């Protein structure tokens, strides 16, 4: 039984060493997962902060675009009102022809279509020709009526307002382009942050699974070490018993030999020094 217990103890000790080795390897992996996860989470926070700043810049530009559009619309309204005055004046000077405000609105409508729509080459050409004809018609009508002083004054005011509209349009185009740039950068940054967060979440899951496995191994190591301690106690008790049994057997053998020597002594046989020592050890002399 003692031999079987020794073999069992060695098997358990080998298993503990294997579990400890596996646990230590897992601990290294878990530490690496945690480091990579924390690094990525830090980068994600930085990217979201950057995206937030880009969004703020985009929103500021969009607000400027909104304000400029409102200003442009007011100027267009003012221009339309001036054209209405021109038309009233024209009616008293020019008995025929299309109202100038209608021509101006038609030009703006067509230019908007040209700027915002995807057109075929042929349709684009026709649209450009139509705008060009309307502008020519408008200018010719204006020249005819510019002989009148009030008409010239109103036309001058319209031209000045149109210059303001042109400047606003240029600013609008610039702000819209910048806003689009910040918007695209924001989307790109958000996407990058989400990709990194996804990887960080996967690493965190690996970290959790690794910790669970480590806990299982620690439980098994503790359990097996307890079994080893229990087996060692049993082995120790068995060895003590075995030693006592051996000692008793040796003592019995010593007494048997001592009795034999004593009988030799009584028979008058020659006793050697070795025989005396055995008698001494047995307590007979």
Structural domains in the chain, sorted by start: 2-222 (1.10.287.2610)
C-alpha 173/C-alpha 177 separation (Å) is 6
C-alpha 86/C-alpha 95 separation (Å) is 13
For 145, other C-beta atoms within 10 Å of its C-beta total 20
Q: What percent of the chain has pLDDT over 70?
A: 89
pLDDT at 235: 84
- The DSSP code for 285 is -
Residues 85-132 have pLDDT tens digits of 887 877 766 555 677 778 888 888 888 888 888 878 888 889 899 989
Dmax (CA) for the chain in angstroms is 176
Backbone angles phi, psi at 95, to 5 degrees: -80, -15
Residues 134-173 have pLDDT tens digits of 888 888 877 776 677 787 888 889 999 999 999 999 999 9
pLDDT at 120: 85
C-alpha 283/C-alpha 277 separation (Å) is 10
**Which tokens belong to 247?**
């000692």
0.75 surpassed by pTM: no
C-alpha 233/C-alpha 227 separation (Å) is 10
């Amino acid at each position: 039984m003692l031999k079987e217990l020794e073999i069992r103890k060695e098997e358990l000790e080998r298993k503990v060493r294997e579990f400890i080795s596996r646990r230590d390897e897992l601990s290294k992996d878990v530490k690496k997962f945690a480091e990579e996860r924390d690094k990525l989470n830090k980068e994600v926070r930085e990217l979201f902060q950057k995206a937030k700043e880009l969004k703020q810049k985009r929103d500021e530009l969009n607000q400027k675009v909104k304000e400029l559009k409102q200003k442009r619309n007011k100027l267009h309204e003012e221009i339309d009102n001036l054209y209405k005055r021109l038309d009233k004046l024209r009616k008293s000077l020019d008995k025929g022809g299309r109202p100038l405000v209608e021509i101006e609105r038609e030009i703006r409508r067509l230019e908007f279509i040209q700027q915002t729509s995807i057109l075929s080459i042929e349709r684009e050409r026709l649209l450009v020709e139509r705008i060009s004809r309307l502008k020519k018609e408008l200018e010719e009508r204006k020249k005819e009526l510019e002989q009148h002083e009030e008409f010239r004054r109103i036309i001058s005011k319209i031209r000045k307002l149109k210059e303001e509209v042109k400047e606003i349009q240029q600013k609008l185009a610039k702000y819209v382009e910048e806003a689009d740039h910040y918007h695209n950068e924001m989307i790109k940054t958000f996407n990058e942050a989400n990709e990194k967060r996804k990887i960080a979440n996967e690493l965190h899951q690996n970290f959790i699974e690794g910790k669970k496995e480590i806990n299982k191994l620690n439980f098994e190591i503790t359990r097996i070490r307890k079994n080893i301690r229990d087996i060692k106690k049993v082995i120790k008790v068995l060895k003590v018993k075995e030693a006592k049994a051996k000692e008793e057997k040796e003592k019995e053998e010593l007494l048997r030999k001592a009795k034999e020597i004593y009988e030799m002594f009584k028979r008058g046989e020659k006793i050697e020094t070795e025989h005396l020592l055995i008698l001494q050890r047995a307590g007979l002399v």
